[in-house]
Amino acid sequence: MNPAYVSGISEAPLLWRTIGDALRVTADAFPTRDALIVRHQNKRMSWRELHAAADLLAAGLLELGLEVGDRVGIWSPNRFEWVVTQFATARAGLILVNVNPAYRLAELEYALNKVGCKALVMAERLKTSDYLATLRTLAPELAESAAGALHSARLPTLRHVITLGETEHPGCHRYANLAAKSSEAARRHLAAIGPTLQPDDPINIQFTSGTTGSPKGATLSHFNILNNGLFTARAQNLTEHDRLCIPVPLYHCFGMVMGVLGCTAFGATMVFPDEAFEPRSVLEAVAEEGCTALYGVPTMFIAELDHPDFASFDLSSLRTGVMAGAPCPVEVMKRVQRDMHMPEVTICYGMTETSPVSLQSAVDDPLDKRVSTVGRIHPHVEVKLIDTEGRVVARGETGELCTRGYCVMRGYWDDPERSREAIDEAGWMHTGDLAAMDEEGYVNIVGRLKDMIIRGGENIYPREIEEYLYRLDGIQDVAVFGVPDPKYGEQVAAWIRLDPGAQLDEDSVLAFCREQIAHYKVPRYLRFVEDFPMTVTGKLQKYLMRAAMIEELGIAEQRTA
């Protein structure tokens, strides 16, 4: 048997370096080159300016009395202050806690208390979300507090609230004031801290968006995320001459690791088109800034390709980029390569707990491999596929994907039990994803362990049915999932979003399926919808679709032993 196991070999070594040191090295190498362009704020910074801004803010945070290891939350859409804060906290040895911009009251309370945030950097609002109003609901004591002296019954560890924007708010520090000045003592303290920091120190906590249970705080080190950004960018051949458009959120690994730290590794320019994803602003940013690379999840690329003014934008500067975060439809991948001038676009696979990337396609992989797999193993990483008894399966067979190596998180913050469930005694991170590996080591993700549909004893992988449906003209996006059935255990359901003006109906879709796939894979239930429920990062929330279908059909969940 040829086992489904691979290990990544590379002539490029892992970097034993902190994030603060990495920024300094890049600033020294490319002081005047563009580092950060944030178009919606009209903000441009060179690498030298970004390095100086991070040091000023780091000293300002220390002056508040924050100490190495303290947790600092950041609750904000994409802004230049987010990037500066990312580097400043790392420089001062503070642990940055990424708070999802979509979080509401209960979620914010849980996140801040779970990790014991002592400070919170926050935007005033995002679109219709009033962040300050939410925080004041949780901590009404803020209105009567001096800045830095918050004592809240519901947020007992939080002392400092740092607001982005021009307005002074009771009980809050203004970011601009904090970043503009610091004492000589704070700057000396910062200089003394630098040599004491170690690459293995925890530096970032990201909450995983689980579909059940409370979110888990994946704890990542300098070493984890700095090296993952390096090798993700290296696979795209990024250099200081590249300009990367980053419409994905900074709170997620896609933005802050693959984007920010990937650019930092090679001195490439970060271009942020907007505070949150808007297809037109992405197209404008690429055309006007001459971007050579573009990141996004499949739904973002679909929205850009289908924008009514798509043809009016000159995207010829594009060369490469990453499509990741969710399964990448083959037909969409082909359109991106052809219509967006991205012949070297890569697909990445990973998860927050693995910093995030463990597999990536290469810019020169054959077309069929780049549109049908998530590539091969990343340098210095191992992957194996196992059966339900934990044994490695043969290549070509389906098994759960497990990852081991420098990229695996330190664990879930203050949650040893769930950490042990995720990472076994041999150091393997169990992803919960089902995959198959071919003889050359290319991996294809076929679904989630929890997403797999079992109909009458047949194992059905939604991904396979989705790929068939994407071939039908008129279908823009599709999600396949299982719903309970008293006779078969489960039945296949599909939600479909059509291209504008498409005239498909249920009969034509089902007729297409019957010609393409086995009868038991043909959807029993079809619904045409305007939108899918999604996370902020663009991942489809199939559990919500399943719940909606169960309610609509009036069926009961099947209980299993």
Tens digits of per-residue pLDDT, 115-147?
999 999 999 999 888 999 999 999 999 999 999
Collect all residues with Cβ–Cβ distance below 8 Å to 160 and sequence separation of at least 6: 64, 66, 118, 119, 120, 147, 148, 150, 173
Rounded distance, CA 269 to CA 291, Å?
9
The answer to whether the beta carbons of residues 169 and 139 sit under 8 Å apart is no
Helix (H, G, I), strand (E, B) or coil at 171: coil
The answer to whether the beta carbons of residues 537 and 249 sit under 8 Å apart is yes
| Torsion on CA atoms 76, 77, 81, 83, rounded to nearest 10 | 110
Helix (H, G, I), strand (E, B) or coil at 289: helix
Collect all residues with Cβ–Cβ distance below 8 Å to 44 and sequence separation of at least 6: 34, 36, 37, 38
Rounded distance, CA 495 to CA 477, Å?
8
The answer to whether the beta carbons of residues 394 and 1 sit under 8 Å apart is yes
The CATH code that applies to domain 454-553 is 3.30.300.30
Rounded distance, CA 248 to CA 231, Å?
19
pLDDT of res. 457:
65
pLDDT of res. 558:
45
Nearest to 482 by CA among 515, 460, 449, 458: 460
Rounded distance, CA 34 to CA 385, Å?
42
List, for the chain, all residue ranges whose pLDDT scores fall below the cut of 70.
209-213, 326-327, 457, 557-561
> Could you confirm whether domain 47-198 is CATH 3.40.50.980?
yes
pLDDT of res. 212:
43
Give the Cβ contact number of residue 263 at 10 Å.
27
User: What are the φ/ψ torsions at residue 228 (nearest 5 degrees)?
Assistant: -70, -40
Give the Cβ contact number of residue 514 at 10 Å.
12
The answer to whether the beta carbons of residues 229 and 260 sit under 8 Å apart is yes
- Convert 341-359 to b/e letters by CB count within 10 Å (16 or more is b): bbebbbbbbbbbbbbbbbb
CA-CA-CA-CA torsion sign (178, 182, 187, 189):
negative
Instruction: Give the residue extent of every domain in the chain.
Output: 47-198, 454-553
- Annotate 458-515 with DSSP letters as a single string: EEE-HHHHHHHHHTSTTEEEEEEEEEEETTTEEEEEEEEEEPTT----HHHHHHHHHH
Rounded distance, CA 351 to CA 224, Å?
13
Quickly list H helices, 222-324.
222-234, 253, 262-266, 279-289, 298-305
pLDDT of res. 363:
95
pLDDT of res. 211:
40
The answer to whether the beta carbons of residues 69 and 81 sit under 8 Å apart is no
CA-CA-CA-CA torsion sign (56, 62, 68, 72):
negative
Rounded distance, CA 476 to CA 470, Å?
7
Residue 291 DSSP symbol: -
Name the one residue in this structure whose structure tokens are 């939350």.
73
The beta-strand segments (E) located in 47-100 are 71-75, 95-99
Rounded distance, CA 465 to CA 468, Å?
5
The pair of structure tokens assigned to 507 is: 């009969």
Residue 423 DSSP symbol: B
